[in-house]
Amino acid sequence: MSARAVRTLPTDQLTATADHAAAAALRELPEALILVFDRELRFVLTAGQAVERLDDSHACREGQLISDVFPADVCGQIEPLLRSALEGETRSREIWTAGQRHCLMVDAGPLLLNVGEGGEEEANVAGGVAVVLDVTARRQADLLAARPQGGDFEEVFERAPVGTGLLDRDGRWLLVNRALCDITGYTADELIGKRFDGIIHPADAGNDLEQRRRLLAGEIPAFQIEKRYFDAAGETVSAILSMSLVRDRHGAPVHYIAQLQDISERKQLEEHLRHLADHDPLTGLRNRRLFEHDLKLQVARSQRYAEVAGLMVVDLDSFKRVNDSYGHKVGDDTLRAVARALTRRLRETDLVARLGGDEFALLLPHIDQEGLGVVTEGLARVIPACSIDVGDDVFHPRASIGFVLITEQTRSAEEALVEADRAMYAAKRAPAATPS
């Protein structure tokens, strides 16, 4: 994605999204420093036990520039990775601190939120997520592995905290350490002699062919790339593969050193952040932003292909009175119950959203006027059938429903929503039907 295509999202939206995701997702990375940053390279969120080891516990506070926190020599190496993340790239790099005392693995990637305009969907980079790990022990293992006769190599190799293995030139495992077995779920006996590509996801099996060619040719000393692999249980796991090549004294290739760093937690964090940004936290339905995006795509399809769809707006009647009479907990229970009823009543292809307050919206592809009438009648029955406990009594909500067809004559998503809103308010003003 080019810089020109990027749109900046409100900082408070990114902050709220990060805060909601942190508690659940970041506990999985206790030894890492996790950074969520915005497009100005300012902290939105920091977490992980590594934060507690910083001299100044307030250094990574929200809004603080990353360049004001890290030492200049470290920041100068980290910043290009973070800026690449803002361009939509995922990169990793090992960084040595001053005096070669510590080696840090920095894994940075974009925080993508799906948005669109004019019927075209794109992924907008709202910020980035970086995971910083101390990999000093792993680098020391690298140095020992390169020695023909390393007296302490076996012990250090086995105790290395990062999954590490030696591969022959055909890509077959020669030696694996305990961490690699723990990460993959395979035993050493199951791995040794087998091809590394045998556990790699087919879509990623060849995504490093050019890097391997350059490594073998001596054009690069090592490379890192993101890969998915299947663990022993058959689950797909995301990892960063670091690959280097050991040569003999004459420069001939001897074996590869492959190291796997599990980044599944970061992937889950990104997915959770995207979900929170696109969904209503109370009901779990789409929020207004995502629904309006979906509606724009539908209008574009209708204009281009004459595809007909339906748009419905559902507004709960006298909802303020519910909150005033029974309290906000009953109000929240009512919204959740109605959300479940709407979802269960509709097809899997239909989209349901909470626009805000007590207002919901439904997008129903491939439906005609008669079909919309049938759905409206059905919702008019299932919504009052919801039962919300209010002490010794039970409350049954009611709603007003308005709908419009989206056709090739529909000029915009905004126009369609306005028309559906008008239809809903007309239904609200109409005399109540006599119960049958």
Burial label, 165 (beta-carbon count in 10 A; 0-12, 13-18, 19+): buried
Which residues touch 298 (CB under 8 Å, ≥6 apart)? 307, 309, 363, 365, 406, 413
Given the residues 358, 368, 389, 393, the one annotated as active site? 358
**How does residue 194 score in pLDDT terms, banded at 50, 70 and 90?**
confident
Average pLDDT over residues 165-181: 88
pLDDT at 355 over 60: yes
In angstroms, the CA 211 to CA 217 distance is 10
Known active-site residue 333: no
Which residues touch 287 (CB under 8 Å, ≥6 apart)? 278, 279, 280, 353, 354
Over residues 104-113, the pLDDT tens digits come to 888 888 887 6
Give residue 420's pLDDT: 93
Give residue 298's pLDDT: 93
Give, in order, the Cα–Cα distances in Å from 175 to each of 10, 78, 220, 223: 50, 32, 24, 20
Whether the model pTM is above 0.85: no
pLDDT at 55 over 60: no
Q: Is 175 helix (H, G, I), strand (E, B) or coil?
A: strand
